[in-house]
Structures are given as C-alpha cells and as structure tokens.
C-alpha cells in the first residue's frame, strides 16, 4: 500500500527532475536553433511560447503519472490518497482529503516523504517575483532579469535555463567557485561558458536580504553589493518533510529532521525503513529509486546481507543539465590528490573529435581517473554535449571494477562522442 498526499511520482515528476529537464530541453532547442545558423540553416525563429511550454510540462507529467499508476495497479498495490503518519511502531494513520482517517497495521513501513526547498527567514518567497524552485515549474512568466541565489547543481541549472530562454541572469555565488562541491576544472569550464554567455557572477557574496521595489527585486549581499532584477530565485538547498510524521510515536530517531539509516535503509527501528531525500543520503532521484528497490528486495527476502548488493553511494553517477552538460562518477581527481592517493588521470578534449565538430559544439572534455597499478577505473568527469548519457559508460565501469582496457577494447560506434572516452582509456 502507498499513501500519497499529492501526485504519485513525487517531487521528481511534479517539480524537480522532469519539469526542470523539460524546460531545459526547450532552452537547449532554442540555443541550438540559434547556433544552427552556422550549420547551414537560415530564417530560424526561436521565440518561447510559454503557454505551449506549460502544456508540454502538463502532458509529460500526466503521462508519467498514468504510467506509474498503472504499474502500481498491475502489481495490485493499493493507493491511498491522504497524508500518512505513524502512531506506533506498527500502525499508520492516513488523513483523507475529506478529513476522515483510516488506520492500518503494517509489518514493514517505508518512509519516503522527500524534502522541500529551504527558505531562510530573510527571504519572503511570494511565488510572484521572489521564487522558490517549486514556483518556477511551470513559470508564470519568463523573467526579464533573474537573480539566482545559490550556485549548487540546482542553481546553475536554473541559470542555464533562464539564460537559454532569453533572460538576463545574475548568479550570486557565496564561495569563489561556482559548483563548490565539484572538481575545480569541471566547475571552471562551466564558469567560463557562463561568462561567455554574459551571465553576471557575484562571487564571494552571500545574499542576506531580498526586497521588492515596485516591479524590481533587490538582492542585498553581505559584501555590500546589490543585484537587481525582475525576479529572484532561491536555490539554497532543501529540508526534510518529517514534521507531523509521528517519528516519536514509533520510536524512530531523527537527526535535523532526517532519518538516519544503515546499509539496508533500516532506521533504528528494524522494520521501519527510510528512502530518498528523507534518509539524508545523496539527494538524487536515481538514488531514491535504488534505495526503494533494495528495501523491497530485502523485505521480500530476495537479497540477504550480501555486501555486493549494498548501495555504494560513492559510486553514484550524477549530472548537471547545463550547457555544456557536466557529469561525474566515483573518485574525482581533486579528491584523489587531497587524499594523497596515487591515481592516473587521462583527459581528452572534445575539440579534436569528429562528432563534436559535426555537432558544431566542441566544448568540454572527458577525464578518466584510474588506478595506475591495475588500470581499474576509479572515477571520471565529462563536460560537454550529452555528458549525462556518456557518463553511464564510466558508471558501469566504476560499479563493476572494469579497467581502462575493458573500455578501450570495446568496439564503439564512429562517429560518436563516446570515442573520446575510449581514447582517454587508451
Ligand atoms: C529543481 C530540482 C531538480 C532536480 N533534478 C534532479 C535530476 O535531474 N536528477 C536527480 O536524480 N535528482 C534531481 N533532483 C533531486 C530529486 O528530485 C530528489 O532527490 C527526489 O525527488 C527525492 O525523491 P523522494 O522519493 O525522496 O521524495 P519526493 O520525490 O519528494 O517524494 C516524496 C513524496 O512524499 C509525499 N509525502 C510527503 N509527506 C507525506 C505524508 N506525510 N503523507 C503522504 N505523502 C507524503 C510527497 O507529496 C511526495 O510526493 C532535483 C531536485 C530539484 C529541487
């Protein structure tokens, strides 16, 4: 049985992964059309029709929801439309939309309530000009000038999306590096591209206040600078949805609202599991889904405690859907050096690759980090077109202990961007 208070498929389908990437796809199509003048096309029109875009998002969302519903129905999963809470270690109560309650006994309980955007007290989000990430998909209007606060993965994706749709953009970056958690070389590649596109970067500036002045928003920073725009968007992290969940009633321990779990996603109460953002592990949809799968396998007795079946979060591939795209997996070069670990790093730029030239987009590079003694692939980063797809090759290698020779001896298609991976592996 699944209790859901909103839309089946969760934030990923409704607000996060899918709508963001659908809008980015429209922005990418627009910039591709503009670039295509260089590829022999002319008279290309590329104005964004916001109504059509919203309709597209609605249609994607309803198709995904229908697919998920029918999958659940085919497995005879009962869906309860309501808000769930624990009232004991084995009891769950759902408050239904009409205010009535249903209660259920359960042998196993999975808490997968996700998270929501963090809104600091100095920002009054009004959903009109001062936006959280949940207000932007679909957008009511395209900002003429968006001030994006936060330069993590979500922030830079918004920067790219707004700019590629025609907005002027200012990015407030609290550190000296855009994407502070990423390999500096990878972050620098994105930063260079942002500057080329005319994006204003306020580096080393922490936003401390957002005020509305007529049709303008004014973002004040701790170094005295102010950024003015038509809209401000906050992308400064998330908080877990655990209030009112009845964790205490079931004796489930939480830390800052997150439910800590062991390797098998068990909370301190062995039959109560937590998955997804609520578990405080890597906040990615792919990770949430894998955790859910692992819990199901465990509960159904299909996986024991075999170590190879346990999720290794250090091997999760992740991507940033900017242009150029950025993707990485496993050990980063900078982390290897920081740990004093001996690694071999090979880097190949796309600039000399046939497919990149055919695509008229030779930005970026691939980088493979491997063990110099064995050749085992430990990690890698890709910056460039289709990086999010290409990283899968390295993800399979990292997860399965494949070597650079395994990659290089695979016969790949020519001409493809993947050939750069083979060359780096060689
Ligand atoms: C803008 C943005 C873009 C992102 N893009 C990506 C991406 O491209 N790729 C990626 O891997 N990750 C992405 N993420 C992260 C990803 O969205 C989350 O990691 C993922 O959605 C977490 O899944 P979840 O199942 O934990 O929670 P959610 O998807 O948030 O689902 C939780 C569900 O629980 C329901 N719920 C909560 N409390 C209750 C209750 N008490 N009773 C009943 N129902 C309840 C909610 O309504 C919701 O449907 C993005 C995040 C953001 C903010």
Digit-coded pLDDT (tens) for 211-270: 999 889 999 999 999 999 999 999 999 999 999 999 999 999 999 999 999 999 999 999
pLDDT tens digits for range 17-39: 888 999 999 999 988 888 887 88
Query: Residue 245 is encoded by which pair of tokens?
Result: 């969940």
Does residue 185 have its Cβ closer than 6 Å to ligand 1?
A: no
Cα(335)–Cα(325) distance, integer angstroms: 21
Pocket residue to mutate for ligand 1, from 236, 284, 317, 319, most atoms within 8 A of Cβ:
284
Q: Which candidate, 165, 212, 168, places its Cα nearest to that of 49?
A: 165
- Answer yes or no: is pLDDT of 303 > 80: no
User: Residue 425's pLDDT is what?
Assistant: 97
The atom of ligand 1 lying closest to the CA of 114 is: 27
Does residue 19 have its Cβ closer than 6 Å to ligand 1?
A: no
Does residue 286 have its Cβ closer than 6 Å to ligand 1?
A: yes
Does residue 379 have its Cβ closer than 6 Å to ligand 1?
A: no
Cα(7)–Cα(14) distance, integer angstroms: 7
- For 252-401, where are the alpha helices, taking DSSP H only? 285-299, 333-338, 354-358, 387-400
Does residue 155 have its Cβ closer than 6 Å to ligand 1?
A: no
| Structural domains of the chain sorted by starting position, each given as residue range(s) with its CATH number in brackets | 2-116+239-299 (3.50.50.60), 130-236 (3.50.50.60), 324-425 (3.30.390.30)
Cβ atoms of 366 and 359 within 8 Å: the answer is no
Does residue 240 have its Cβ closer than 6 Å to ligand 1?
A: no
Query: Residue 227 pairs with which residues in a beta bridge?
Result: 219
pLDDT tens digits for range 351-410: 989 999 998 889 999 999 999 999 999 999 999 999 999 999 999 999 999 999 999 999
Quote the ligand 1 centre to 70 CA distance (angstroms).
20
Q: What residues contact residue 1 under an 8 Å CB cut-off, 6+ apart?
A: 77, 78, 79, 80, 104
In order, the DSSP letters of 181-226 are TS-HHHHHHHHHHHHHTT-EEEET--EEEEEEETTEEEEEETTS-E
pLDDT band of residue 343 (cuts 50, 70, 90) is very high
Q: Which candidate, 318, 287, 314, places its Cα nearest to that of 381?
A: 318
Does residue 370 have its Cβ closer than 6 Å to ligand 1?
A: no
pTM score, whole prediction: 0.93
Quote the ligand 1 centre to 341 CA distance (angstroms).
35
Query: Residue 244 is encoded by which pair of tokens?
Result: 């009112």
Quote the ligand 1 centre to 234 CA distance (angstroms).
17
């Amino acid at each position: 049985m699944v209790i859901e208070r909103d839309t089946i498929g969760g934030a990923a389908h409704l607000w996060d992964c899918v709508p963001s990437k659908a809008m980015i796809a429209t922005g990418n199509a627009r910039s591709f059309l503009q670039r295509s003048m260089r590829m022999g096309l002319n008279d290309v029109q590329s104005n964004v029709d916001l109504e059509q875009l919203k309709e597209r998002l609605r249609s994607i969302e309803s198709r995904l929801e229908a697919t998920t519903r029918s999958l659940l129905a085919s497995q005879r999963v009962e869906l309860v439309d309501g808000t769930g809470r624990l009232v004991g270690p084995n009891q769950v109560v759902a408050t239904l939309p009409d205010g009535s309650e249903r209660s259920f006994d359960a042998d196993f309980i999975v808490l997968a309530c996700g998270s929501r955007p963090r809104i600091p007290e100095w920002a009054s989000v009004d959903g009109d000009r001062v936006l959280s990430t949940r207000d932007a998909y679909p957008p009511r209007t395209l900002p003429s000038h968006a001030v994006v606060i936060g330069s993590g993965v979500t922030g830079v994706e918004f920067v790219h999306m707004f700019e590629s749709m025609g907005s002027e953009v200012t990015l407030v970056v609290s550190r000296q590096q855009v994407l502070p958690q990423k390999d500096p070389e990878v972050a620098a590649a994105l930063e260079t591209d942002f500057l080329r596109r005319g994006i204003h970067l306020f580096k080393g500036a922490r936003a401390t206040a957002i005020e509305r002045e007529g049709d303008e928003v004014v973002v004040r920073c701790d170094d005295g600078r102010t950024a003015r725009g038509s809209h401000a968007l906050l992308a400064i992290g998330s908080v877990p949805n655990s209030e009112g969940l009845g964790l205490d009633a079931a004796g489930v321990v939480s830390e800052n609202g997150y439910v800590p779990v062991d390797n098998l996603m068990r909370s301190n109460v062995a039959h109560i599991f937590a998955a997804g953002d609520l578990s405080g592990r890597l906040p990615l949809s792919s990770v949430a889904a894998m955790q859910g799968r692992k819990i199901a396998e465990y509960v159904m007795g299909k996986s024991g405690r075999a170590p190879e079946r346990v999720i290794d979060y250090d091997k999760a591939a992740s991507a940033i859907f900017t242009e150029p795209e950025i993707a990485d997996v496993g050990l980063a070069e900078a982390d290897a050096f920081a740990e004093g670990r001996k690694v071999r790093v090979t880097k190949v730029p796309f600039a000399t690759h046939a497919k990149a030239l055919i695509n008229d987009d030779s930005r970026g590079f691939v980088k493979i980090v491997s063990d110099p003694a064995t050749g085992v692939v430990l990690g890698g980063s890709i910056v460039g077109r289709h990086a999010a797809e290409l990283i899968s090759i390295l993800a399979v290698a990292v997860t399965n202990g494949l070597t650079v020779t395994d990659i290089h001896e695979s016969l790949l298609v020519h001409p493809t961007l993947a050939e750069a991976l083979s060359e780096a592996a060689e």
